[in-house]
Amino acid sequence: MNVIRLHAPNDLRFNEESKPQLGPGETLVQVKAVGICGSDLHWLSDAGIGDANLQKPLILGHEFAGVVAKGPQKGIRVAVDPAIPCKQCEFCRQGFPNLCTHLRFAGHALEDGALREFVAWPDECLFTLPDSLSNSDGVMLEPLGVAIHAVDLGELKVGSTIGVFGAGPIGLLIQQVAHLSGVSAVYVTDILPHRLEAARALGATQAFFAGKGSEILEIMSATGGRGVDVAFEVAGEKEAVEAAIATVKPGGRVVLAGIPADDRTSFSASVARRKGLTIKLVRRMKFTYPRAIQLVEKGQVDVRSIVTHHFPFAKAQDAFTVALRREGLKIIIDV
């Protein structure tokens, strides 16, 4: 089968390898579509992310969907949860598999991901796709799961107001899930005009350019000087974190979902302390796939407009080049 491995920073190579062997409780899945995530771009550019570094040539890709390739379920289309928890550690037993101390995650560290023709993956991580959902929709269930988890952490109340700092795919999905939670206003910021247009098209109350810091004044003005109840930072940039801290009301919540390139997040401690803020960090997701499938199937969340580019497997290098230039929104590689 064909695979693509990362050998060093910006060094992706096509290889021919054998199909994976099935382990206990695993199913062979023929991969059909893989999304490029911001974390994949960290791996590509830096050969690592956070405190995880490239230890061997790695197959990237953790947003993916495919078709069961053998067994009684052969032919069934599935979305694939990329996280494989141990189910034995303290955090798994307490209901926090996303915090598992032995978590295996597709396309991360030693665990090969989905940029290949076949994967062997645990049965419990496979979720049947309804006929109404495409393979691309299945890919989008992973970022939608992250957005659902982020909104859960924000503990939104009906009639509350939020800020979304970063209008990439996950920010746009947070915006939509927040609307379903009954918020009265959503203020979105980004440095890219086409992302701001996408936010407006998906129902943002107002969308502000974030290049010069004026978005803080604009959000405060739009909220009558009160600030937002909950701020979601989804850009991975210090300026976005500072803006979230500056515009959330006293006693409010700040949910940090962005991944900073230098593995450091900083903000004005005096402002956060004086406001008595609650700050939460997003660690992937937990138990979100069934909810995500229902939201997309019922048309309550629009994932299709967020997918702006498709590339064939042979053009994967071009797909990553476009993603690195921050063109469009979600880029999908069709395998």
Domain regions of the chain by residue span: 2-128+303-334, 145-281
Distance linking the first and last C-alpha atoms of the chain: 11
pTM: 0.96
Q: What SS3 class is residue 322?
A: helix
pLDDT digits (tens, 9 = 90+) for 72-92: 899 999 999 999 999 999 999
Do 145-281 and 2-128+303-334 fall under one CATH topology? no
CATH fold of the domain at 2-128+303-334: Quinone Oxidoreductase; Chain A, domain 1 (3.90.180)
The one-letter code for the residue type at 53 is: N
Angle at 327 between CA 309 and CA 67, to 5 degrees: 30
Q: Are 128 and 292 in contact (CB under 8 A)?
A: no
Angle at 204 between CA 199 and CA 206, to 5 degrees: 105
Question: What residues in the chain have per-residue pLDDT under 50?
Answer: none
Say yes or no: domain 145-281 is CATH 3.40.50.720. yes
Residue (of 261, 264, 257, 29) closest to 143 by Cα position:
257
Q: What is the pLDDT of residue 213?
A: 84
Chain position carrying tokens 């999905």: 173
Number of residues in the chain:
335
